[in-house]
Structure 1
Amino acid sequence: MRILFSGPPDFGHTLPLLPLAQAARHAGHDVTILTHTSMSQMVSPLRVLTTEPPFGALRAETVRRLMGPAAAGTAPPMRNVNTGLTPAMLAELFVRVRVDLSGDEALARGRDFGPDLVVADELDALGPLIAADLKVPWATHSFGLAPGLPFLESRDEAITERLAARGLVPTPRLAYLDMWPDLLQPDDWTPSTDRITIQHRPFHQDGVPWSVPGFPGREGLPLVLVTLGTTANDPDVLRAIVDSLATADVNVVATLGTQDKADAFETDRTRVCVVGFVPLAQLLEGVSLVVSAAGAGTLLSPLSRGLPAVLLPAVAEQPLNAERAAAAGAAAVVTKPEEIGEAVRRVLADTSYLSAARKAAEQIRHMNAPQQALDLLLERWNRGKTGG
């Protein structure tokens, strides 16, 4: 069958789709991903249906609409794109602007491909648009923990509005593919009736050279990975974190993500290895603890390996993710980069954090593997086709 995956043109929304997409491809299905061409290398060898402007253009248009033309040129850089976004602003960015700038092209691409099933990122609007246009089933793939009822309401209202403008009616959702284990869910959480769990898999890319760095004279010390992800990666914050870690007796791998050059980052290279973008699955090798901003990928990836974390949340869903990881006992949360060093010492010394992280890893292992989640999804698709 033909399966179309769709997500906003950003690493944090595209990479979580890949395990399921790769499972479908390995099972012999015709799989493609609708996204901007800038994502092509990351999703290879999966085929890409290229459409829409890059995420920066969507952000600039959102700022122009909400703050006026003069503000568009002074919008915050990509790494601060989510700072202070309200539910209405999120709906404008992820739904109205995307559909307005990319809807016609996305519909044309979708009609050409002719999917039997659409799988869309939780904040994606083009997947539901194509599903409604072609009257085919679609499923949601989770992004963060529940983004919050106000945003979900704003998102759904905006999608219904944009579909209605094209004479379309939203089609019922087939499934919610949830990569968050139960122990990280909010206390008042109730699973949706259409939930299918799916293991989070740290992003891996063949052909990327990486080996755990050596630190002469410092062998045997814990290795700490510092990553702020690919969207909210502020080099000044990263530098402050690395400086704070000088107070802890650890070796450090600090990744700059996709935005800056490692050789321009000044630090003590005897204890710190600075790298550009390296797939997270490789970066986690040999690591004892991860420092991150609590984005979905940079939190779930270490937890899936049983690694505790120190979290400095800043934007969007990060505070909620961090709160739940701390409630599970698998992470310490700080509010300032300068607090990182002391928190790392505390977490490494207190084995309860490691025990809680290993409990999270065990729960993730018992969730559906991508192939199992695919099988369950296709069972529902088949029942819908036969009226069962």
Structure 2
Amino acid sequence: MRVLFAGPPFFGLLYPMVPLAQAFRAAGHEVLVATCGRAVGHAAAAGLPAVDCAPGIDPDALYAAMEKGRQGKPPSPGEKNAPPKGKGFSFFSDEMADTMTGIARSWRPHLVVHTPNGVAGQLVAAALGIPSVLHAVGFGHTGRHVAMMNDALADGYARHGLAGPGPIAAWLDVTPPGMSVTGEPHRRYLRYVPYNGGGDLPHWLFGKRERPRIAVTLGTVRPVVDGVSPIEWVIDAARVTDAEFVLALGGADLSGLGPLPENVRPVEWTPLGALLAGSDATIHHGGAGTTLTALDSGLPQLVLGEGADRPANAAAVRARGCGLVPPDPSALAGPDRPGRELVRRLLEDEALATAARETAEEMAAMPSPADMVHRLVELASAHGAT
């Protein structure tokens, strides 16, 4: 069987599908990843065949310019030349749609797997009359959000003679059942297996820890838009906390943070799952992949939760009791230094640690990507795949 994985060009959103794609390959099926920009290389580095469906564009630069232009706020309804609602979060689906559909007609997949933001994949499935499988990436997307992103792709559907998307044949929910906020039809639970890319891991990550270690990250998108200013307060807290703080910021410019205390360790790209396995807690922005990787690690977490789907991810963590969410992240370095107290709680609150461990155990019991392959092969066969 041939399976097309259609993903956004940002590897933080593409990576959650990699374990399922690898499971299909391990089971003997053919896989092709359709995306664009640097994500093509990241898919190839994961050992997956990949194709650039929007050659000549730089998604990272275009998205950063769009975000900075609107300062993180959607355009007002009456704004002149405002893009269609959902355009900013359909992540270049329109730019990829025509090439992706042409490649799919030639390659003839039996199934398309796509993320909520990768609605170009849903268009391909409708154009070819094959099942569309949505691979969720966090807590922030519902059928309503996916419909909004498909509305932004209306021109693409019209170009291919389609009235709109077809139904989603399966919705793969990767959130722990006890935390799930999804009630979509055809939901199937799928264990989230962290894939954060490969890396040359440092020896200190495996050594005995003399003091607690806190991993700090802003993911792959936010540093491009906001720089490292959202974690300035962490440096202040580090000065009064007997712990090691590892800044995993993907090579971002740290000069704006000033001189770093001796207990703050900046690192280059390090796979987050491996870093968390050698840590005791984590502070992060609240991106879907980062939140789920943190939940899988069984570590208490402090989630900033600003922008995009991050508030939804943060709210789910807070509701489960396995993490802290500041009411106003911009005030963490204020006169009363509330960030210092939050870090203390992150390291000392046993209720947080217990809930975090229980959540990781719940995730470990979910159907694995290998289990899901058989179920999706059956789904494709029921729709006529051979």
TM-score, normalised to structure 1, is 0.85
Alignment of 1:84-95 (within 5 A): 84-85=73-74, 91-95=86-90
Distance 2:385 2:3 in 1: 19
Q: 1:275 aligns with which of 255, 267, 272?
A: 267
C-alpha contact (below 8 Å) 1:212/1:286 kept by paired residues: no
Alignment of 1:3-152 (within 5 A): 3-43=3-43, 44=45, 45-52=47-54, 53-56=57-60, 58-59=62-63, 63=66, 76=68, 83-85=72-74, 91-95=86-90, 98-147=92-141, 151-152=145-146
2:60 corresponds to which letter in structure 1? G
1:93 corresponds to which letter in structure 2? G
Check 1:262–1:285 CA distance in 2 against 1; reply closer, same or farther (3 A cut): farther
2:379 corresponds to which letter in structure 1? R
Give 5+ residue unaligned stretches, structure 1: 64-74
- The equivalent residue for 2:345 is 346
- The equivalent residue for 1:184 is 179
- Alpha-carbon distance, 1:39 to partner: 1.7
Check 1:317–1:37 CA distance in 2 against 1; reply closer, same or farther (3 A cut): closer
- Alpha-carbon distance, 1:269 to partner: 5.5
2:49 corresponds to which letter in structure 1? R
- Structure 1 residue 163 and structure 2 residue 165: aligned? no
Check 1:232–1:4 CA distance in 2 against 1; reply closer, same or farther (3 A cut): same
Distance 2:219 2:385 in 1: 43
- Alpha-carbon distance, 1:383 to partner: 2.2
| 1:129-183 deviation line (CA, Å, top 9, x unaligned) | 2112222212001022143565344224334553134202433321011111122
1:299 corresponds to which letter in structure 2? T
C-alpha contact (below 8 Å) 2:298/2:359 kept by paired residues: yes
- Alpha-carbon distance, 1:266 to partner: 4.8
Higher mean alpha-carbon deviation, 325-334 vs 34-43, is at 34-43
Equivalences, count:
365
- Alpha-carbon distance, 1:365 to partner: 0.9
Distance 2:324 2:119 in 1: 34
Distance 2:313 2:131 in 1: 30
Alignment of 1:193-212 (within 5 A): 193-206=185-198, 208-212=200-204
Alignment of 1:363-382 (within 5 A): 363-382=362-381
Q: 1:297 aligns with which of 289, 297, 320?
A: 289
C-alpha contact (below 8 Å) 2:35/2:96 kept by paired residues: no
Distance 1:105 1:60 in 2: 24
C-alpha contact (below 8 Å) 1:248/1:342 kept by paired residues: no
C-alpha contact (below 8 Å) 2:84/2:151 kept by paired residues: no
1:369 corresponds to which letter in structure 2? S
- Structure 1 residue 308 and structure 2 residue 300: aligned? yes
Distance 1:375 1:229 in 2: 32
- The equivalent residue for 1:70 is none
> What secondary structure does 2:38 align onto?
helix
| 1:274-302 deviation line (CA, Å, top 9, x unaligned) | 01221112211321100011111111112
Check 1:219–1:368 CA distance in 2 against 1; reply closer, same or farther (3 A cut): closer
> What secondary structure does 1:21 align onto?
helix
Distance 2:116 2:254 in 1: 32
- Structure 1 residue 253 and structure 2 residue 243: aligned? no
Check 1:103–1:184 CA distance in 2 against 1; reply closer, same or farther (3 A cut): same
- The equivalent residue for 1:72 is none
C-alpha contact (below 8 Å) 1:4/1:119 kept by paired residues: yes
- Alpha-carbon distance, 1:219 to partner: 5.0
> What secondary structure does 1:290 align onto?
strand
| 1:246-269 deviation line (CA, Å, top 9, x unaligned) | 222211111112x52579975435
C-alpha contact (below 8 Å) 1:223/1:287 kept by paired residues: yes
Distance 2:273 2:350 in 1: 24
- Structure 1 residue 226 and structure 2 residue 228: aligned? no
2:174 corresponds to which letter in structure 1? M
Distance 1:3 1:20 in 2: 11
C-alpha contact (below 8 Å) 1:294/1:313 kept by paired residues: yes
Higher mean alpha-carbon deviation, 308-317 vs 236-245, is at 236-245
Q: CA RMSD in A?
A: 2.9
1:83 corresponds to which letter in structure 2? G
- The equivalent residue for 1:66 is none
Distance 2:51 2:325 in 1: 40
Distance 1:228 1:6 in 2: 25
Check 1:386–1:237 CA distance in 2 against 1; reply closer, same or farther (3 A cut): closer
| 1:167-202 deviation line (CA, Å, top 9, x unaligned) | 02433321011111122234xx5x323111111122
Check 1:185–1:90 CA distance in 2 against 1; reply closer, same or farther (3 A cut): farther
Give 5+ residue unaligned stretches, structure 2: 78-82
Distance 1:140 1:148 in 2: 11
1:47 corresponds to which letter in structure 2? P
Distance 1:358 1:367 in 2: 15
TM-score, normalised to structure 2, is 0.85
**Identity over aligned residues, as a percent?**
29
